[in-house]
Chain A
Amino acid sequence: MSESQLDLSVGEPTDRPRTADTEVPLLELAGIGHEFGRRPGRSGVRAVDDISLTLNPGETVGLVGESGCGKSTLGRIATRLYRPTRGSVRFEGKDMTHKPQSADLKAFRRAVQMVFQDPNGSLNPRLPVGASIEEPLRARGVARADRRDRLAQVLEEVGLDASAATRFPHEFSGGQRQRLALARALAPQPSVIVLDEPTSALDVSIQAQILNLLQEIQQRDRIAYLFISHNLGVVRHLSQRVAVMYLGSIVEIAPAQQLFEAPQHPYSMALLSSVLEPGDDTAPGEQIVLKGELPSPSDIPTGCPFSSRCWLADDHCRSERPALTERTPGHLTACHKPGGHS
């Protein structure tokens, strides 16, 4: 879609601004903290705690962790669906959290899109899907004819026939609906898409179709993905860098290969060892079994948040919280005993 780049950006430069990869990251989360239900004089539930993360053009960063670890909250902060209670979200170096210029915020809203697990949330059941896909363009005042062109274009990009536009969501299968949700996200020509469990509800054969499609789109358009998933196979397949979250914090972040082949944080080790794969002889008995239950986010242990379940934890771990430290280039771990074995 290089030749027919539409002018979708009212009052902004037409071409997507290029960020020098080394200078300013495309999207930067700095010291993000988020509490739910905080009222004066009462602290809330700390869903996300002091997270910093960058995303460069054309890159996929995987965000993994178990239910309730805060990964979806972080995804919603990255798209500014939530305003974080602490820290800032910067897009192309501009702060989007503290009184941003309205034109900047507008550009951000166009450039950063999101796809959710359930595509039905992105498609109005009573409108033809074409209308739902066009909506973000209409909201930006794109002319009707241009919208029509773009609609046909994105439908083709996600592998659907242009005639699909006039049909209703219930006429499509789950996999097709996820393609439609993706088309809607692609319509305003984003430079970042936050994907929150986009294939978790799909069968593996359909999941493979969607994952391949995501890769194709990225290679062609150089879109950066923040890919949130609990499925580690999927994350490994798609990501260049991976961050592991536990109880609202990033405990380890590293290039995908390093993280999956030589995890340093005990939680990452336990998580990885629990994954069962077809044809693998790892019996359930050979896994690292974590003791106890995941603590509630409203009652996070002092010191290292993982200390209550870690087999390496000692008094030091329980009293002092380890900082996320870079030990080899690009590989950061928040642990007093990284890589340790019991």
Chain B
Amino acid sequence: MKPDTLTPARAGAEADGTDPVLDVSGLRIGFGGSDVVSGVDLRVEQGEVVGLIGESGCGKSSVALAAMGLLGSGADVRADRLVACGTDLLGSAPAELEKLRGDRVAMVFQEPMTSLNPCMRVGAQVAEVLRIHGKAGRKEAQERAVDLLRLVEIPSPERRARQFPHELSGGMRQRVVIAIAMAGNPRLLLADEPTTALDVTVQAEVLRLLRSLQEEHGMGMLLISHDLGVITAMCSRVQVMYAGQAVESGTVDQVLNAPRHPYTRALLAAVPRMREGDGTPLTAIRGQLTDDARRLPGCRFAPRCPLAAEACAEPQPLRPVGDGWVSRCWRDLEEAPTAAGGKDE
């Protein structure tokens, strides 16, 4: 099996028995006694880009941090299975996790300035990763750092390597962070809102870069974003989260073009579109996500759902609604002619 098989090879990868680069099932994360994430299953195959979407506070970033083994002792992480690139994140010693991070598993965050050391030249920051992971000696690391800056398409990398983060634009800084992530030649890249802080034209370039690196290196990627446009452009599969749970999961085509869960539908109906502006009122989702929702025994979206009914008070499992496609709603919304949000309560 060639490790650089591209995105469509997802089914094939499963068939020839390659392990997924990220395999999570039954993930629960609690802080101070209450669960912020309860019951998330997630698989990222080699060479596949999976999206995780949801609004602030839905728990999507906590999932990513757990997948890096980065949640500290304050967090209570439990899972039936939490394996990244063959390493069990729950049963491994901290030293083993250190070896994993920055090597086979890497992460890119939203704000590059919080990832970069403001007092250190960017070339040295890339070289540091190579040296810590024993991939190169001091001299060689400097040279390879320049190569990595070239890999992420930074113009005149020799000169840029000697600059400090504040001398670079936001887009360039994010490229440096990506270069650091690529230093270990990772098999899994976790990207948490990697372009949210960037302008749209810069975002387009950074996404293009991430896409080509992912394809060339056959990386699996978990892309976390609140931007449904970014998810559509980048991912093959997507999972929608609400109040700490997955509410719908399937291919991008299934979930974002023919959503089955009322929350997914409402989310899509709330986005003002630039390419179809008719000025008709958007369908807003009434109310807001509150902490109380996490304590509901039944559907957590019910208090805001335009279709809520008595049956929603019962616990809602994820129901299969298609091939590899699940939705946490008892209704069969397949036949619904319009977006659920279109009907008023």
Residues of A within 8 A of B (CB): 66-67, 173, 175, 203-209, 211-212, 215, 230-238, 256-257, 260, 270-285, 287, 289-290, 293-294
Contacts and interface: CB of A to CB of B under 8 A. Distances in A.
Secondary structure class of chain A's binding surface, majority of residues: helix
Contacts of A234: 272
Given A203-B56, A230-B200, A236-B277, A208 B230 contact: no
A278 B283 contact: no
A66 B226 CA distance: 20
A271 B200 CA distance: 7
Contact of A204 (B171, B205, B226): B226
A276 B199 CA distance: 12
A211 B285 CA distance: 12
A284 B274 contact: no
Interface string B269-287: 0111111010101111110
A234 B187 CA distance: 37
B114 interface: no
A209 B286 CA distance: 8
12 contacts: A66-B201, A205-B285, A208-B282, A209-B285, A212-B284, A233-B272, A272-B274, A275-B229, A277-B275, A278-B228, A278-B229, A279-B228
Contacts of A233: 271-274, 277
Interface string B183-213: 0000000000000000111111101100100
A280 B281 contact: no
Contacts of B279: 215, 237-238
Contacts of A281: 232
Contacts of B268: 278-279
A294 B231 contact: no
A64 B232 CA distance: 24
A118 B9 CA distance: 45
Given A211-B282, A277-B232, A236 B200 contact: no
Given A274-B204, A290-B201, A208 B277 contact: no
B257 interface: yes
Contacts of B282: 208, 211-212, 237
A287 B202 CA distance: 11
A244 B268 CA distance: 26
A256 B276 CA distance: 11
B271 A277 contact: yes
Given A273-B204, A277-B271, A285-B211, 8 more contacts: A205-B285, A208-B270, A208-B285, A211-B272, A236-B277, A260-B275, A277-B232, A279-B232
Given A282-B233, A294-B169, A208 B284 contact: yes
Contacts of B288: 173, 175, 205-206
Contacts of A205: 55, 266-267, 270, 284-285, 288
